[in-house]
Amino acid sequence: MESDLLVLSATDLDGLLSVDDHMAAARDAFAASADGRALPPGLLHVDPPGGELHVKLGGFGGEASVVALKAAGTWPANAERDLPVAMGTLLLLEGDTGRPLALLHAGSVGPPRTAAASTLAATLLARPGAHTLALLGAGTQAELHARFLAAILDVERVVVWSRRGARAEDLARRLRQPSTVAAALDETINVDVGDDPAEAAALADVIVTCTHATQWFLPGDAVRPGTFIAAVGADSPGKQELEPALVARATVVVDVAAQARAVGELQHQPDPSVAAVHASLGEVLTGTRPGRTADDEIIVFDSTGTGLQDAAAARAAVQRATERGVGTSAPLFG
CATH number of 113-304: 3.40.50.720
Handedness of CA 279, 281, 283, 285 (dihedral sign): positive
- CA distances from residue 260 to 67, 193, 240, 300, 325 in whole angstroms, order as listed: 21, 30, 11, 11, 38
How would you class 298 by CB atoms within 10 Å of its CB: exposed for 0-12, middle for 13-18, buried for 19 or more? buried
- Rg of the Cα atoms in the chain: 19
- Domain locations in the chain as residue ranges: 4-110+308-331, 113-304
The tens digit of pLDDT for each residue in 92-148 reads 999 999 999 999 999 999 999 999 999 999 999 999 999 999 999 999 999 999 999
- CA distances from residue 2 to 5, 6, 237, 278, 315 in whole angstroms, order as listed: 8, 11, 40, 45, 17
Please give the share of the chain, as a percent, with pLDDT higher than 90.
Answer: 88
3-state secondary structure of 38: strand
Q: Do domains 4-110+308-331 and 113-304 have the same CATH topology?
A: no
Model pTM score:
0.95
pLDDT at position 1 is: 45
Give the chain's length: 334
The tens digit of pLDDT for each residue in 236-264 reads 999 999 999 999 999 999 999 999 999 99
Of 25, 30, 33, residue with least CA distance to 181: 25
Tell me if the domain spanning 4-110+308-331 has CATH number 3.90.1150.10: no
Rounded to an integer, what distance in angstroms lies between the CA atom of residue 157 and that of residue 239?
28
Task: Encode the chain (334 residues) as per-residue pLDDT tens digits.
Answer: 457 899 999 999 999 999 999 999 999 999 999 999 999 999 998 889 999 899 999 999 988 899 999 999 989 899 889 998 889 999 999 999 999 999 999 999 999 999 999 999 999 999 999 999 999 999 999 999 999 999 999 999 999 999 988 999 999 999 999 988 888 899 999 999 999 999 999 999 999 999 999 999 999 999 999 999 999 999 999 999 999 999 999 999 999 999 999 999 999 999 999 999 999 999 999 999 999 999 999 999 999 999 999 999 999 999 999 999 999 999 887 6
Rounded to an integer, what distance in angstroms lies between the CA atom of residue 132 and that of residue 121?
16
Q: 228, 130 in Cβ contact below 8 A?
A: yes
